[in-house]
A and B are shown apart, each in its own frame.
Chain A
Amino acid sequence: MRSKRTELLVGCFILLGIAAFVYLAVQVSGLAFSAQKDTYQIVARFDDIGGLTSRSKVTIAGVTVGTVESISFDKELYMGLVKMNINTDVDNIPTDSSIAILTSGLLGEKYLGITIGADEEVLQEGDEIFDTQSALVLENLISQFLFKSGDSE
């Protein structure tokens, strides 16, 4: 029947559209539908956040364990205040761990890497990591290098 076939094809068309949408969402943008994992928030202050943005990754040993929630300016200490959400299943980060702003590849995105400390106590909601290492800014590196080589001569 003519109209049944039409209806079937229209149904297939709409299904194809939805399937393509889901494909784009999951495979291309990496959107995880279980993304609403429970998290806890910790903070860190950096001298220079150098290109880190909200939603950047937070990693331990290269594995993503959370994301940057927000970045703001701490007026009293003149530092960049970074708040990040860590998945609750990673609940054993020692309080004396250090955190650094790293770059993926030569020109890639900035992300946070946590290096594990040795303390017995672990970070809780709202705690701060004090041992921070700022982003490497190319200009500063070059000028350091130039001044150093000037001294030695």
Chain B
Amino acid sequence: MNLLVGLGAWFLNWLEAVGRAGIFLAQSVLRMPVRFRESIRLLIQQLYAVGVLSLVIVVVSGAFIGMVLALQGYSILSKFGSEEAVGQLLALSLLRELAPVVTALLFAGRAGSSLTAEIGLMKATEQLSSYEMMGVDPLRRIIAPRFIAGVICLPLLSIIFSATGIIGGLLVSVGWLGVHDGAFWSLMQQSVYFDTDIMNGFIKALCFSVVVTWIAVYQGYECVPTSEGIGKATTRTVVLGSLAILALDFVLTAAMFGDF
């Protein structure tokens, strides 16, 4: 009986939290910026903070993951005498799965946590209240540009991840392991389709970007405004964000590639 009550209470709390977060998201996106030039300037600042500053980690991990995939793939494929297919393996696994998921996880750790911490700090130092006192909506001024920047950046980063991963794999397999480069490219081009592979990967990244950025800005905005509260909110952003990415990835993969 108590267990049932507990379960019910937990579910209702959860539902309430999701509802609040949904209203929060709708408000921050729908309350459109008043002045166009001003909001573009804010957006560019956030694109820099969220996108450009995440670029290094994404490029480096993309290159390494591509190189590792090429090595692993080569050692297995060479047993079947089809080491030329390493390009195909590389491109398909990166485009469909690894690039969106790994980029989103890195993004949650790098940009998501810093968004939460930044907004949380603004709340703790009463900057958010201060905007409100000046008759400026903090949702529109602080949250909206950060959310939009996050949604724009993650798909771009995911594509850059794929490209560097493929180049990294190319260097290892063609440059080091001696795979014939013509076969590498032609097998890759034969098996990779623009709409099913590249576009589906892009759509995945777009879905992840909405969810991760949403979690990050909401956790920052709703955090307890103390140093402990900000720390907890940052941890929650990374944990919740990562779990949401992996769960959503399963759903999206089933929807996109599930019909055999």
Answer yes or no: A and B touching, Cβ < 8 Å: yes
Tell yes or no: A28 within 8 A of B by CB. Answer: yes
Tell yes or no: A143 within 8 A of B by CB. Answer: no
With a cutoff of 8 Å between Cβ atoms, the chain A residues found around residue B163 in the complex are 20, 23-24
Are A3 and B41 touching (Cβ within 8 A)? yes
- Bound-state CA distance A20–B189 (Å) is 16
With a cutoff of 8 Å between Cβ atoms, the chain A residues found around residue B157 in the complex are 17
> Which interface class (under 10, 10 to 19, 20 to 34, 35 or more) fits B?
20 to 34
With a cutoff of 8 Å between Cβ atoms, the chain A residues found around residue B48 in the complex are 6, 9-10, 13
Tell yes or no: B233 within 8 A of A by CB. Answer: no
B48 nearest in chain A by CB position: A6
Are A16 and B160 touching (Cβ within 8 A)? yes
- Bound-state CA distance A9–B82 (Å) is 42
- Bound-state CA distance A19–B162 (Å) is 12
Are B192 and A29 touching (Cβ within 8 A)? yes
Are B198 and A29 touching (Cβ within 8 A)? yes
Tell yes or no: A74 within 8 A of B by CB. Answer: no
Known A-B contacts A16-B160, A24-B198, A25-B194; the reply to A30 vs B189 at CB < 8 A is yes
Are B159 and A17 touching (Cβ within 8 A)? yes
Tell yes or no: A109 within 8 A of B by CB. Answer: yes
The residues in B between 189 and 209 inclusive whose CB is less than 8 angstroms from any CB of A are 189-194, 197-198
B contact patch SS = helix
Minimum CB–CB distance from B167 to chain A (whole Å) comes to 9
Are B52 and A9 touching (Cβ within 8 A)? yes
A contact patch SS = helix
Query: Interface readout for A83-122 with B: 1 if CB under 8 Å, 0 if not?
Result: 0000000000000000000000101010000000000000
Query: Interface readout for B36-62 with A: 1 if CB under 8 Å, 0 if not?
Result: 000001001101100110010000000
With a cutoff of 8 Å between Cβ atoms, the chain B residues found around residue A29 in the complex are 189, 192-194, 197-198
The residues in A between 21 and 40 inclusive whose CB is less than 8 angstroms from any CB of B are 21, 23-25, 27-31
Minimum CB–CB distance from A59 to chain B (whole Å) comes to 12
Known A-B contacts A7-B44, A23-B163, A24-B95; the reply to A109 vs B189 at CB < 8 A is no
- Bound-state CA distance A10–B43 (Å) is 10
Are B51 and A28 touching (Cβ within 8 A)? no
The residues in B between 139 and 186 inclusive whose CB is less than 8 angstroms from any CB of A are 155-157, 159-160, 162-164, 166, 185
Minimum CB–CB distance from A96 to chain B (whole Å) comes to 30
Known A-B contacts A7-B44, A29-B189; the reply to A20 vs B198 at CB < 8 A is no
- Bound-state CA distance A29–B164 (Å) is 15
Tell yes or no: A61 within 8 A of B by CB. Answer: no
Are A24 and B44 touching (Cβ within 8 A)? no
With a cutoff of 8 Å between Cβ atoms, the chain B residues found around residue A30 in the complex are 188-190, 192
Are A24 and B159 touching (Cβ within 8 A)? yes
With a cutoff of 8 Å between Cβ atoms, the chain A residues found around residue B164 in the complex are 20
- Bound-state CA distance A108–B197 (Å) is 19
A5 nearest in chain B by CB position: B48
15 contacts between A and B (CB under 8 A): A3-B41, A3-B45, A13-B52, A16-B55, A16-B156, A17-B155, A17-B156, A20-B163, A23-B163, A24-B159, A24-B162, A25-B194, A25-B198, A28-B91, A31-B194
Q: Which 7 A-B pairs have the closest CB atoms?
A: A30-B189, A17-B156, A20-B163, A29-B192, A31-B194, A29-B194, A6-B48
Q: Identify the B interface with A (CB < 8 A).
A: 41, 44-45, 47-48, 51-52, 55, 82, 91, 95, 155-157, 159-160, 162-164, 166, 185, 188-194, 197-198
